[in-house]
Amino acid sequence: MAEPVIMPRQGQSVETCLITKWFKEKGDKVEEGDLLFSYETDKAAFDEEAKTSGILLDIFYQEGDEVPVL
């Protein structure tokens, strides 16, 4: 079953984050804890790790894209 990767909220005022680097590509095998991508807010930079193991089926936002947080 597919598991979506959701941009985590980093504070109440943050509405979007900028993806700065992808460490995986579409079709790559991913293990829980692997780095998926780096992103920035207006105040800090973060790395997002895989929450589960599996295959990265698709990437909807590229490096340099502003992504809405949920």
Distance CA 28, CA 70 (A): 25
| 18 has a pLDDT exceeding 90 | yes
pLDDT digits (tens, 9 = 90+) for 35-56: 999 999 988 999 999 999 999 9
Spacing of C-alpha 64 from chain mean position:
12
**What is the reported pTM?**
0.87
More confident of the two residues 56 and 13: 56
Distance CA 9, CA 2 (A): 21
